[in-house]
Homo-oligomer: A and B are copies of this chain.
Amino acid sequence: MVSNTKIIFAKIPTTFPVAGEHMIVEKSEIDLDAELPQGAILLKTLVLSVDPYMRGRMRDASIQSYSPAFPLNQAMSGHVVTQVLKSNNPKFAQGDLVYGLGSFAEYVLVPEAYTAYFEVRNEIKTSGLPISNYVGVLGMPGMTAYVGLIKFGKPVKGETLYVSAASGAVGQLVGQIGARLGLRVVGSAGSDEKVAYLKELGFDAAFNYKTTDYEEALSAHCPNGIDIYFENVGGKMLEAVINHANRFARIVCCGMISQYNTQNPEPIHNLIQVVAKSLEIRGFIVGDSPEMTEPFRKDVTEWLKAGEIKYREDIAEGIESTPEALIGVLRGKNFGKQVVHVADL
CB contacts (< 8 Å) of A273 on chain B: these are 283
Q: Are A283 and B288 in contact (CB under 8 A)?
A: no
A43 on the B face (CB < 8 A): no
CB contacts (< 8 Å) of A56 on chain B: these are 276
CB contacts (< 8 Å) of A234 on chain B: these are 271-272
Q: Considering the chains assembled together, what is the distance between the CA atoms of A274 and B282 in angstroms?
A: 7
Within 8 A of B (CB), among A184-235: 234
Q: Are B253 and A274 in contact (CB under 8 A)?
A: yes
Q: Are A256 and B269 in contact (CB under 8 A)?
A: no
CB contacts (< 8 Å) of A268 on chain B: these are 267-268, 271
CB contacts (< 8 Å) of A312 on chain B: these are none
Residue of B nearest to A279 (CB): B283
A280 on the B face (CB < 8 A): yes
Q: Considering the chains assembled together, what is the distance between the CA atoms of A269 and B256 in angstroms?
A: 12
Partner among B255, B259, B269, B280 whose Cβ is within 8 Å of the Cβ of A265: B269
CB contacts (< 8 Å) of A265 on chain B: these are 269-272
Partner among B253, B255, B272, B281 whose Cβ is within 8 Å of the Cβ of A259: B272
CB contacts (< 8 Å) of A238 on chain B: these are 271
Within 8 A of B (CB), among A266-298: 267-285, 288
Q: Are A281 and B281 in contact (CB under 8 A)?
A: yes
Q: In the complex, what's the smallest C-beta–C-beta distance from A218 to chain B, in angstroms?
A: 16
CB contacts (< 8 Å) of A276 on chain B: these are 56, 65-66, 283
Q: In the complex, what's the smallest C-beta–C-beta distance from A288 to chain B, in angstroms?
A: 7
Given contacts A256-B271, A267-B267, A271-B256, contact A66 B278 (CB under 8 A): yes
Partner among B256, B281, B288 whose Cβ is within 8 Å of the Cβ of A272: B256
Q: In the complex, what's the smallest C-beta–C-beta distance from A271 to chain B, in angstroms?
A: 6
Within 8 A of B (CB), among A229-259: 234, 238, 247, 253-256, 259
Within 8 A of B (CB), among A303-321: none
CB contacts (< 8 Å) of A256 on chain B: these are 271-272, 274-275
Q: Considering the chains assembled together, what is the distance between the CA atoms of A279 and B231 in angstroms?
A: 14
CB contacts (< 8 Å) of A259 on chain B: these are 272
Q: Considering the chains assembled together, what is the distance between the CA atoms of A234 and B267 in angstroms?
A: 14
Q: In the complex, what's the smallest C-beta–C-beta distance from A267 to chain B, in angstroms?
A: 3
Q: Are B281 and A288 in contact (CB under 8 A)?
A: no
Given contacts A253-B274, A267-B267, A268-B268, contact A282 B283 (CB under 8 A): no
Q: Considering the chains assembled together, what is the distance between the CA atoms of A259 and B256 in angstroms?
A: 25
Specify which of A268, A272, A285 lies most central, judged by the most chain B CB atoms within 10 Å of its CB.
A272
Residue of B nearest to A259 (CB): B272
Q: Considering the chains assembled together, what is the distance between the CA atoms of A211 and B271 in angstroms?
A: 25
A-B contact pairs, 5 of them (CB 8 A): A253-B275, A267-B267, A274-B282, A278-B283, A279-B281
New contact pairs (8) apart from A254-B275, A268-B271, A274-B283, CB-CB < 8 Å? A56-B276, A65-B276, A253-B275, A256-B275, A259-B272, A268-B268, A279-B281, A280-B281
